[in-house]
């Protein structure tokens, strides 16, 4: 059986990377790479694996997608949908049903979401399904991408995107807030990219933004910060998260993150995330390049083999090879010399003059 994952459109390459990481599958196993529709053979625990995905909008399972040509592909869509109902064993057992349609891209003649939803509804009606638009027992999702003439459909599995509710957890909603607090979406994404079987460590936890989101996702994590004020504030935010339903086991410790092995001698962490300070927020610290290299080395000393690290670095949006006054090649040397192998990097725009470079790496043998 095939399923279709609908990406949010926020960052398509990261969408594929996050889904492949959470499902523990190679991107080569997917169909539809570089689009917002990802099709794959349905894995075990699909919904559970993607329950906190930062880049997923919906899941159709069973589901499929096709490309359609012309201004009025109705006949082709109708035939394909009828065939899919049979092939996917979508049987009418007396349940009520509705088609929920979304459109990606601009308006296009013959590609109205409401119109095409009616086409699919007509097929279902002919097969004697009970159409109930208010409270159906089964929902068929229909996603229409007018940008590339692509249409996906399938049995909807999500009533809302996993990121729903994050707006109530933005940094300004927490008891302790600083402008440098990590965005919930970035925190969840980074957690999903690095989490393994053990705990995740955030060696520059600041206000505890990552720990808050880890706890809401049921992830065990430890945060480190050298500043007493940040540690106290992060603890307030963690308590706030627990009072609002967070269940993951998280804690924050005061300490020097450039010397992690001195107070974290056990090497059982399987993931690392951090967002180093920059600009005015880094005043009073070492230069970013020196501090960054030390954090990479210290983190490598306290993780297991086959661990991953994700970090955010300030960059120039129009030229991601310029990373806070250094070239990317210079930055990559810090990873390599510290025992980390870079797997990928992606630009997350902030505004016209600032971007954040999300870098994902994994442990490599130390010489």
Q: Rounded distance, CA 205 to CA 208, Å?
A: 5
Other CB atoms closer than 10 Å to residue 268's CB: what's the count? 13
Higher per-residue pLDDT: 237 or 164:
237
Residue 153, pLDDT above cutoff 90? yes
Residue 330, pLDDT above cutoff 80? yes
Supply 5's token pair. Answer: 């994952």
Domain ranges for the chain, please list them. Answer: 2-156, 166-363
pLDDT in tens, 81-140: 999 999 999 999 999 999 999 999 999 888 999 999 999 999 999 999 999 999 999 999
Other CB atoms closer than 10 Å to residue 341's CB: what's the count? 14
Domain 166-363 has CATH 1.10.645.10: no
The full length of the chain comes to 367
Q: 27-60 b/e with 16+ CB inside 10 Å = b?
A: eeebebeebbbbbbeeeeebeebbebbbbbbbbb
> What is the mean pLDDT of the segment spanning 294-315?
94
**Nearest CA-CA partner of 170 in 237, 224, 235:** 237
Residue 366 is predicted with a pLDDT of: 60
Phi and psi at residue 215, to the nearest 5°: -65, -40
Give the CATH number of domain 2-156; options: 3.30.470.10, 3.30.2130.30, 3.40.50.1010, 3.40.50.970. 3.30.2130.30
**Nearest CA-CA partner of 213 in 203, 225, 200, 224:** 200
Residue 267 is predicted with a pLDDT of: 67
Residue 305, pLDDT above cutoff 80? yes
pLDDT in tens, 352-366: 778 899 999 999 976
Residue 351 is predicted with a pLDDT of: 80
CB 259 within 8 A of CB 296: no
Residue 367, pLDDT above cutoff 60? no
CB 125 within 8 A of CB 96: no
Residue 311, pLDDT above cutoff 90? yes
pLDDT in tens, 264-287: 977 679 999 999 876 544 445 567
Higher per-residue pLDDT: 265 or 223:
223
Percentage of the chain exceeding pLDDT 90: 76
Q: Could you tell me the pTM of the whole model? A: 0.92
Supply 281's token pair. Answer: 């927020």
Q: Rounded distance, CA 256 to CA 302, Å?
A: 14
pLDDT band at 47 (very low <50, low <70, confident <90, very high): very high
Beta bridge partners of 319: 316
Residue 72 is predicted with a pLDDT of: 77
Contacts of 21 (CB under 8 A, 6+ apart): 192, 193
> What is the mean pLDDT of the segment spanning 53-74?
92
């Amino acid at each position: 059986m095939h399923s279709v994952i609908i990406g949010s459109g926020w960052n398509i390459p990261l969408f594929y990377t996050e889904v492949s990481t959470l499902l523990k599958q190679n991107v080569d196993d997917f169909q539809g790479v570089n689009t917002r529709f990802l099709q794959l053979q349905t894995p075990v625990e699909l919904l559970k694996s993607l329950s906190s995905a930062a880049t997923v909008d919906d899941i159709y399972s069973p589901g499929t997608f096709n490309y359609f040509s012309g201004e009025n592909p109705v006949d082709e869509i109708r035939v394909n949908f009828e065939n899919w109902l049979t092939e996917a064993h979508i049987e009418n057992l007396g349940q009520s049903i509705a088609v929920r349609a979304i459109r990606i891209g601009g308006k296009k003649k013959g590609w109205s979401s409401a119109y095409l939803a009616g086409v699919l509804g007509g097929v279902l009606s002919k097969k004697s399904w009970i159409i109930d638009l208010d409270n159906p027992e089964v929902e068929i999702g229909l996603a229409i991408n007018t940008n590339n003439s692509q249409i996906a459909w399938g049995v909807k599995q999500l009533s809302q995107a996993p990121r729903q509710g994050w707006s109530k957890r933005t940094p300004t909603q927490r008891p302790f807030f600083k402008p440098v607090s990590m965005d919930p979406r970035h925190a969840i994404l980074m957690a999903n990219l690095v989490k393994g079987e053990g705990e995740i460590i955030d060696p520059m936890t600041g206000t505890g933004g990552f720990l808050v989101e880890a706890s809401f996702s049921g992830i065990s994590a430890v945060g480190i910060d050298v500043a007493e004020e940040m540690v106290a504030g992060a603890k307030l935010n963690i308590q706030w998260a627990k009072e609002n339903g967070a269940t993951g086991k998280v804690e924050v410790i005061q300490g020097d993150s450039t010397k992690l092995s001195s107070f974290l001698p056990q090497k059982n962490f399987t993931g690392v995330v951090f967002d180093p300070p920059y600009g005015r927020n880094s005043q009073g610290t070492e230069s970013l390049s020196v501090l960054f290299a030390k954090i990479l080395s210290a983190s490598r000393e306290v993780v297991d083999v086959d661990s991953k690290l994700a970090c955010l670095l300030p960059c120039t949006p129009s030229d991601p090879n310029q990373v806070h006054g250094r070239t990317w090649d210079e930055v990559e040397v810090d990873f390599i010399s510290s025992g980390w192998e870079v797997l990928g990097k992606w630009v997350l725009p902030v505004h016209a003059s600032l971007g954040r470079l999300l870098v994902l790496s994994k442990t490599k043998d130390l010489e």
